[in-house]
Chain A
Amino acid sequence: QVQLVQSGSVVKTPGASVKVSCKASDYTFVNNYITWVRQAPGQGLEWLGWVSPHYGHTKYAPKVQGRVSMTTVDTRTAFMELRSLRSDDTAMYYCARGSTTNWFGPWGQGTLVTVSS
């Protein structure tokens, strides 16, 4: 059974950067995308973008374009880096396997990123 395991919760100060990892067990991403989604406290889901491990292609949401980078280092591990953090970046960040028709599953357990001075 495919499982995605993410790195642990972090606290950052405004202006800093954060890098979240997502590692697949018993699966490789080679034929899929890795999608990143965040959820602010008490709020809904927000799509951030995707990366294609096979081709290295990326697509980012306009709201975070210019501050976000999504990468893979092999066919099992993906990273999402968000720079110039603001308080409204405080959220649970999820990775998920993405299909070519843009549905997502399974999901990682989530990484809580708190931005506070």
Chain B
Amino acid sequence: QSSLTQPASVSGSPGQSITLSCTGSRSDIGDYNSVSWYQQHPGNAPRVLIYDVTNRPSGVSNRFSGSKSGNTASLTISALQAEDEGDYYCSSYTSIDTVLFGGGTKLTVL
């Protein structure tokens, strides 16, 4: 598998909650809890939002939460804000001791 599968784009209005999905296989997301999520704004480096499926690093808003079911991981953003607009990437450890990223989801705040 060359990458995890993410929807190319999603949109939401301020104040709404949205969920981004990330689908892999039994060789990555399905078998490991090493799933993380990254946010990237144009021209900037990515920053980690969620690690180990559900954990938030210090300094990350509690509006961001992660979960996993089977081979699919999800990132939920509650109370959507204009500053949340950007690209979101998931990643997972794999059975061949590598890391896969998803193709990325572009979030538009309407």
* A61 & B98 in contact (Cβ 8 Å cutoff): yes
With beta carbons under 8 angstroms apart, the residue of A44, A61, A109 that contacts B104 is A44
With beta carbons under 8 angstroms apart, the residue of A47, A61, A62 that contacts B91 is A47
Q: Which residues in window 64-110 of B have CB below 8 A to A?
A: 89, 91, 93, 97-104
Cβ distance B86 to chain A, nearest Cβ, rounded Å: 13
- Chain A, interface size category, equals 20 to 34
Q: Does B47 contact A (CB under 8 A)?
A: yes
With beta carbons under 8 angstroms apart, the residue of A35, A37, A102, A108 that contacts B34 is A102
Task: Report the count of interface residues on B (CB-CB < 8 A).
Answer: 23
Q: Does B36 contact A (CB under 8 A)?
A: yes
Complex contacts, A106 vs chain B, CB 8 Å:
47
Q: For residue B104, which residue of chain A has the nearest CB? A: A44
* B101 & A59 in contact (Cβ 8 Å cutoff): no
Q: When A44-B103, A101-B34, A102-B34 are in contact, do A107 and B46 touch as well, CB less than 8 Å?
A: yes
With beta carbons under 8 angstroms apart, the residue of B38, B52, B102 that contacts A101 is B52
* B34 & A45 in contact (Cβ 8 Å cutoff): no
* B100 & A102 in contact (Cβ 8 Å cutoff): no
With beta carbons under 8 angstroms apart, the residue of B3, B36, B38, B57 that contacts A102 is B36
Q: Does B48 contact A (CB under 8 A)?
A: yes
Sample of 22 A–B contacts (CB below 8 Å): A44-B89, A44-B101, A44-B102, A45-B38, A45-B46, A45-B104, A46-B101, A47-B91, A47-B100, A47-B101, A59-B97, A94-B45, A101-B93, A102-B93, A103-B48, A103-B52, A104-B48, A104-B91, A105-B47, A105-B48, A105-B51, A108-B45
B-binding residues in A (CB < 8 A):
35, 37, 44-47, 59, 61-62, 94, 99, 101-110
> 11 other contacts beyond A102-B91, A108-B45, with CB at 8 A cut-off?
A37-B101, A44-B89, A45-B38, A45-B101, A46-B101, A94-B45, A101-B51, A102-B34, A102-B93, A103-B51, A104-B46
A-binding residues in B (CB < 8 A):
3, 33-34, 36, 38, 45-48, 51-52, 57, 89, 91, 93, 97-104
